[in-house]
Amino acid sequence: MSTTIANVVDLETRTTTNDHQALRLWLRLLSCTVRMENHVRACLRRQFNTTLPRFDLMAQLDRHPDGLRMHELSKRLMVTRGNITGITDQLEREGLVVRSFDAHDRRAIAVKLTSKGAKRFREMAADHERWVVELLSGLSSEEKREIFTLLGKLKTHLDGNGWPS
């Protein structure tokens, strides 16, 4: 059964053709993001019994094999240190990450993936990439390039105006 944009209830359905084009565009972007994120969350839960925040934390650590300080993880993931602590506690209990004191500052705690965590993350990352590719398969390569370029222009505009990220 085919679903059209008009009959799906989501954030975008709040608008009418009389609303400002910018508002309609923002809600369309948000609706697409929410749909894609919900799909990825469901796949992570179903296939790996994990959550998107846990995946995101492991992704950051995968990019930094020497580890990251807790405050740096908090900043990169744009969540509170308390959230990072809770996620790290869970991952540590499962043997996927390990905490260590910074050699130069004993007050600072760094987190890094264990070999088990790195292996598990690689498995999840491969499937994550496949899911995202599938989600965007309705667009041609050229359309993806165009959207990427236009969103890059928007991002530069937002950054240039000093709005918080």
Same domain for 27 and 81: no
CATH number at residue 132: 1.10.10.10
> What is the Cα–Cα distance from 96 to 120, expressed in whole angstroms?
8
Same domain for 77 and 7: no
Same domain for 137 and 58: yes
Same domain for 133 and 153: yes
* The total number of structural domains that make up the chain: 2
Same domain for 165 and 87: yes
End position of a domain, from candidates 49, 66, 87: 49
pTM, to two decimals: 0.83
What residues pair up with 109 in beta bridges, in sequence order? 101
Q: Inform me whether the pLDDT recorded for 11 exceeds 80.
A: no
Environment class of residue 121 by beta-carbon count within 10 Å: exposed (0-12), middle (13-18) or buried (19+)? buried
Chain segment 119-153, per-residue pLDDT in tens:
999 999 999 999 999 999 999 999 999 999 999 99
Chain segment 78-112, per-residue pLDDT in tens:
988 889 999 999 999 999 999 988 777 778 889 99
Residue range(s) defining the domain that contains residue 149: 51-165
